[in-house]
A and B are shown apart, each in its own frame.
Chain A
Amino acid sequence: MSRKKKIKSGLGTGFFTFLSLVYVVPIVVVLFNSFKKKTFINIEPFKLPREETFVGLENYANSISHYDFLKAVGWTLFITVGSVAVILLCTSMFAWYITRVRSGFTKTAYLLCVFSMVVPFQMVMFTLSLVTDRLGLGTPWGLIIIYLGFGAGLAVFMFCGFVKSIPVEIEEAALIDGCSPLRMFFSVVLPIMKPTYISVGILETMWIWNDFLLPYLTLDTNKYKTISIVIQYMKGSYGRVDMGAIMAALIMAVIPVIVFYLSLQKHIIKGVAAGAVKG
């Protein structure tokens, strides 16, 4: 590199370092407010905790003991992991079937799945909550079925795209060798589709982990709350608002996401790019 270019790239690095720091400011502000006495948070949100305002981990303790925050983390984890596992297994099998078998039914099913991707949630939110209520699906287990149904569109679409690129000959050979279609799917098709499983898994995880309205309307929220629901309850007009506990809850909600992101960064970015192309 020439001298001029070196200076230019140095300036660029400096500028973007600054910009990156600015970018994380909102989270850092919440972080140090989470160690402040609750009455000071609204008064001086941009000041670091001082001796007088510092309360250590009290806000975290309040958030956990008064609002059952860890239970909400547990349910969110259960619903997310359960739904994503079920979605991956069921929709990949479904997508493979409707791609390989050509009939009026499979073509319609594919079109319906694509159609469901563009329908905004508000269109079905009221009736979906009626249906789940009637069928007794307002539990974390029932929610898994709802997520399978409502999340099928994107997953089926992405799996179908991939199945089309797998040569049929491999599958035919396995079937001729006496493999049943089920066994063939699990020992031949599934391993080939691993990259798509990762992409779909990441997209569905990001959606379900953060989802608010669907679980809020369908779950029996007296018994089961997800992270988003708890935070909304804490802030909602239910008596006094404990700003300290909210700050702690926000940080506890962000940490798992950042850990998840940093440990799977490459896959996440690839999955997101793959999911975007569907548009």
Chain B
Amino acid sequence: MEKVIKRYAPFFVIPTFAAFIVGFIVPFLMGLWLSLCKFTTVKDAVFVGFSNFQKAVFDPIFLHAFWYTALFALVSFLVINTLAFAIAMALTQKMRGTNIFRTVFFMPNLIGGIVLGYIWQLIFNGILARSGAALALSEKYGFWGLVIMVSWQQIGYMMIIYIAGLQAIPDELNEAAAIDGATGWKKLRNVTIPMMMPAITICTFLTVVNSFKLFDQNLSLTAGEPAQMSELLALNIYNTFYGRVGWEGVGQAKAVLFFVLVVGIGLIQLRVTRSKEVQQ
């Protein structure tokens, strides 16, 4: 069978593969190369070794963005997952209206980042104005603004995954736990959470990586105000490319570091949480 199919390879392979080369492979390889060069356009690229990386790691604003992002990822991970898990538990109980509630909570997830940012900017600035403040005045406002906004956006999504996980727990397990006298916290700790580890793995991975990659919402909500202090990593990289002439190479070096970081987090997290999953 393979022989026959292979004769038709061009139809099946070429469109996607050609686009993949243009849209991903070439930019990716060029990006790796340019991180070692000084340039403003590609034509004037000069190889400079690792000096871009050196500049990147000693850029205080980049370091600030790193810690700001790390803290943001941690806090939003905790808030989103705790609330999403709790809501999922509640909405799998016998209760009227659960479907409508799920619909409502999931809805913000479909709204684009730019639109979300400006919706929340109006709300936060409206609230802060009462005490004479504004989002652009302090990185703390920006931080909590971002946390509230991404929670609003992502709780519904994680809730869906947790609900799917809860519904997959076999009834016998819950019954057995009830017969053994496990209720409330005990049941949650010894039955529900261990059985939910696959869902928790997925949601952990998603929320942390989403936070690290966040860009649109950051750009629209605070645009890094005040003075780049509420910049997350992705926005910092963007501003290095397009806001500082002569720093394009450093921007690309930061992007490479960012790429390594995102991949690294993903791998570590998968390993850590996978080892806690219940063998089925």
Chain A positions near chain B (C-beta within 8 angstroms):
1, 5, 9-10, 12-13, 16-17, 19-20, 23-27, 29-30, 33, 41-42, 45-46, 90-91, 93-94, 96-98, 100-102, 109, 112-113, 116, 118-128, 130-131, 135, 137, 145-150, 152-153, 156, 168, 171-172, 175, 180-182, 185, 206, 209-213, 227-228, 231-232, 235, 246-247, 250, 253-254, 257-258, 260-262, 265, 268-269, 272-273, 276-277, 279
CA distance A258 to B118 in the complex (A): 17
B21 near A149 (CB under 8 angstroms)? Answer: yes
Identity of the chain A residue whose Cβ is nearest the Cβ of B233 in the assembled complex: A122
Can you name 8 A-B pairs with beta carbons within 8 Å?
Answer: A12-B90, A23-B152, A122-B237, A126-B252, A127-B28, A149-B20, A227-B112, A272-B109
CA distance A153 to B25 in the complex (A): 12
Identity of the chain A residue whose Cβ is nearest the Cβ of B165 in the assembled complex: A273
CA distance A260 to B109 in the complex (A): 13
- Our pick among B6, B115, B219 for the contact of A250 (Cβ within 8 Å) is B115
Nearest Cβ in chain A — how far from B68, in angstroms? 16
B123 near A29 (CB under 8 angstroms)? Answer: yes
A1 near B94 (CB under 8 angstroms)? Answer: yes
SS of B interface (majority): helix
A149 near B15 (CB under 8 angstroms)? Answer: no
Task: Report if A213-B216 is in contact (Cβ < 8 Å); known contacts: A145-B23, A171-B1, A273-B160.
Answer: yes
Residues of B within 8 A of A125 (CB): 238, 241, 255
Identity of the chain A residue whose Cβ is nearest the Cβ of B256 in the assembled complex: A123
A261 near B8 (CB under 8 angstroms)? Answer: no
A175 near B4 (CB under 8 angstroms)? Answer: yes
Beyond the given pairs A16-B91, A152-B23, A269-B106, 16 more chain A to chain B contacts, judged by CB atoms under 8 angstroms and listed by A's residue number, are A10-B96, A13-B97, A30-B122, A97-B5, A122-B258, A124-B24, A127-B28, A127-B31, A127-B252, A147-B23, A185-B12, A212-B216, A231-B118, A235-B220, A257-B112, A269-B160
